């Protein structure tokens, strides 16, 4: 194995990057956008050209492509990764902010909360949020679920007067576990193809493991909520005065429940049906099925689906404000101003994570662990957890770990089905979310938590659920090997 110069070692560069970002935010009180951008520049400048070439080669690119990237200015490489992240989440965050603001101001969120409380009662509201986010998170991306449910959490917290942190963590727990464990989200789908796991088996296994882990997550969330009670805070996009006024409104002044649910149901149904046609009915040659497949492929694309949800929320707002165009313009402007800050921070986090990936941190970790004599299930979990913590992306961590372990899992004579290795990789991708993860910033900024509060609540929540998942998987592999 080639011996790296100490200053070129991806682990050393990672440590410097962590120091710059965490030190900048917590120590120097820099704005998160500036600290992440500074960290990205430091990592990019420390990364040797050979590492960038190796990174591109590892992704299937040519040496020439790698050299071209290495010859680019650090600022251009950072801007490219910044743009990639912004392209993935920019429209989603903008549309979600409009949906959230419109649902709060129109009274739709208040109507949903009142209807939910009638069915479940105040004491069961957090469990309702937990279960809902898990089911919605199966076909819908984590960030989309979080965007759609945050306004409901704010309205619910105002209504019951407590448990804001618990509601936020319940949303996070359900959506995060479904996103990594249950197809058709990208990570589980990649595992299915790479490790020859039947998709139905992955769906059932992921659902069962996820159901147990979110229960553990709920208990931690309840404990954290008691230990660090965080109030519903005033914010530009959701002033407490407005939420309070809506909570005191007469029920007759609120919109009907079916109309209130449309901004959430439209994107969820379109995205879910698109996923269904792509996975279950993709080989059908029936003309009727093909028509609907094309229809949902267009309208079920996540940016389009969220935009349609935003449009329905604006129609609802106009009707409730009885044609007050000035009020609607003000609401949209406020929502987009808030979204702009979140997009900048999240994209900077993506740029920082992208620069860490170009150091070759994933390959370095693969080298360190390839000869590690350990049982495959905890080894799969450990590799994924290290890569996830190092570079921030759960999906990249799952892809990296499956690339390292797929050959071992499919060629060795195992005493259990390779499904369990896939599930271990999925659970390992939950450890340890911090400031190089765009999801960390989405949760932090949209729920109005400080960085320190997110680090001691959101990060441990996902870590605990991932570890519980590993324990469940190892027990299941022994009791139900499925071979």
Predicted TM-score (pTM) of this structure? 0.70
Quick check: 373 pLDDT over 50? no
Query: Quick one: average pLDDT of 203-211?
Result: 89
Mean pLDDT confidence for 402-426: 74
Among candidates 99, 103, 102, which has minimal Cα distance to 112?
103
Q: What is the mean pLDDT of residues 245-258?
A: 76
Q: What is the CA 99 to chain-centroid distance, rounded? A: 18
The continuous run of DSSP H or E covering 241 comes out as helix 240-247
- Residue 1 pLDDT class (50, 70, 90 cuts): very low
- Reported as a pLDDT band with limits 50, 70 and 90, residue 191 is confident
Mean pLDDT of 184-198: 72
Q: pLDDT value at position 182?
A: 81
Tell me the C-alpha distance between 286 and 196, whole Å: 28
Quick one: average pLDDT of 116-124?
Answer: 79
pLDDT digits (tens, 9 = 90+) for 318-368: 888 776 666 677 778 887 887 787 788 778 877 887 888 788 876 776 666
- Distance between CA atoms of residues 152 and 403, nearest Å: 39
Q: What distance in Å separates the CA atoms of residue 446 and residue 235, rounded to the nearest whole number?
A: 10
How does residue 140 score in pLDDT terms, banded at 50, 70 and 90?
low
| Separation CA 440–CA 388 (nearest Å) | 13
Contact assessment for residue 47 and residue 13, using Cβ atoms and an 8 Å cutoff: yes
Helix ranges (H only) for 248-324 are 257-279, 287-299, 302-320
Of 159-168, 251-260, 410-419, which gets the smallest average pLDDT? 410-419
Write the pLDDT tens digit of every residue in 382-407. Answer: 888 887 887 777 767 776 677 667 65
pLDDT at 2: 40
31-45, 301-315, 384-398: least confidently modelled range? 384-398
pLDDT of 410 over the 60 cut = no
Closest to 194 measured CA to CA, from 392, 380, 386: 380
Confidence at 370, pLDDT banded by 50, 70, 90: low
Q: Widest CA span of the chain, in angstroms?
A: 73
Average per-residue pLDDT for the chain: 81
**169 — pLDDT class (breaks 50, 70, 90):** very high
Give the per-residue pLDDT at 184.
61
Q: How far is CA 239 from CA 195, 254, 255, in A?
A: 49, 18, 20
Q: What is the pLDDT of residues 427-453, one digit of tens each?
A: 998 988 888 787 888 888 888 888 889
CB within 8 A of 198, min separation 6: which ones?
192
Handedness of CA 364, 367, 373, 378 (dihedral sign): positive
d(CA 29, CA 432): 23
Q: Which one, of 454, 457, 461, lies nearest residue 32 by Cα?
A: 454
Q: Residue 33's pLDDT band (boundaries 50, 70, 90)?
A: confident
Identify the pLDDT of residue 68.
87
* Cβ(111)–Cβ(260) below 8 Å: yes
The pLDDT value given to residue 327: 66
Count of alpha carbons within 13 Å of 201, Cβ hemisphere only? 17
The full DSSP string for 133-176 is HHHHTTTS-HHHHHHHHHHHHHHHHHHHSS-HHHHHHHHHHHHH
| Mean pLDDT, residues 275-288 | 68
């Amino acid at each position: 194995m080639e011996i790296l110069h100490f200053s070129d070692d991806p682990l050393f560069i990672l440590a410097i990057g962590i120091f710059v970002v965490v030190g900048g935010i917590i120590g120097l009180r820099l704005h998160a956008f500036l600290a992440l951008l500074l960290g990205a520049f430091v990592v990019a400048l420390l990364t040797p050209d050979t590492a960038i070439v190796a990174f591109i080669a590892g992704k299937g690119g040519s040496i020439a492509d790698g050299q071209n990237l290495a010859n680019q200015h650090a600022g251009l490489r950072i801007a490219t990764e910044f743009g990639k992240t912004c392209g993935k989440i920019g429209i989603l965050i903008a549309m979600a902010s409009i949906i959230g603001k419109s649902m709060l101001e129109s009274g739709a969120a208040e109507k949903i909360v009142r209807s939910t409380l009638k069915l479940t009662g105040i004491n069961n509201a957090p469990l309702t949020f937990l279960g809902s986010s898990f089911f919605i998170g199966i076909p819908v991306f984590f960030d989309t679920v979080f965007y759609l449910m945050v306004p409901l959490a704010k309205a619910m917290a105002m209504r019951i007067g407590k448990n804001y942190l618990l509601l936020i963590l319940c949303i996070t727990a359900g959506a995060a576990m479904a996103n990594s464990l249950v197809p058709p989200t990208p990570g589980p789908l990649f595992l299915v193809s790479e490790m020859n796991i039947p998709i139905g088996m992955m769906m059932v296994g992921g659902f069962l493991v996820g159901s147990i882990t979110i229960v553990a997550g709920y208990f931690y969330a309840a404990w954290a909520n008691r230990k660090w009670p965080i109030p519903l805070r005033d914010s530009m996009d959701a002033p407490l005065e407005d939420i309070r006024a809506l909570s005191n409104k007469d029920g007759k002044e609120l919109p009907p429940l079916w109309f209130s649910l449309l901004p959430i149901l439209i994107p969820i149904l379109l995205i879910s049906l698109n996923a269904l046609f792509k996975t279950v009915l993709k080989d059908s040659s029936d003309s009727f099925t093909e028509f609907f497949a094309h229809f949902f492929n267009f309208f079920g694309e996540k940016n389009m689906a969220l935009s349609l949800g935003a449009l329905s929320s604006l129609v609802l707002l106009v009707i409730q404000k009885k044609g007050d165009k000035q009020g609607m313009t003000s609401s949209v402007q406020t929502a987009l101003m808030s979204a702009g800050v979140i997009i900048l921070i999240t994209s900077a986090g993506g740029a920082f994570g992208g620069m860490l990936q170009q150091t070759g941190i994933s390959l370095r970790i693969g080298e360190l662990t390839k000869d590690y004599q350990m049982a495959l299930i905890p080894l799969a979990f450990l590799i994924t957890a290290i890569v996830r913590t190092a570079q921030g992306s759960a999906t990249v961590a799952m892809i990296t770990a499956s690339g390292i372990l797929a050959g071992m899992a499919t060629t060795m004579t195992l005493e259990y089905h390779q499904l369990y290795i896939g599930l271990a990789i999925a659970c390992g991708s939950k450890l340890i979310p911090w400031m190089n993860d765009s999801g960390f910033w989405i949760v932090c900024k949209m729920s109005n938590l400080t960085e320190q509060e997110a680090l001691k609540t959101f990060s441990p929540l996902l870590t605990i659920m991932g570890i519980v998942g590993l324990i469940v998987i190892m027990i299941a592999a022994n009791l139900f090997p499925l071979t």
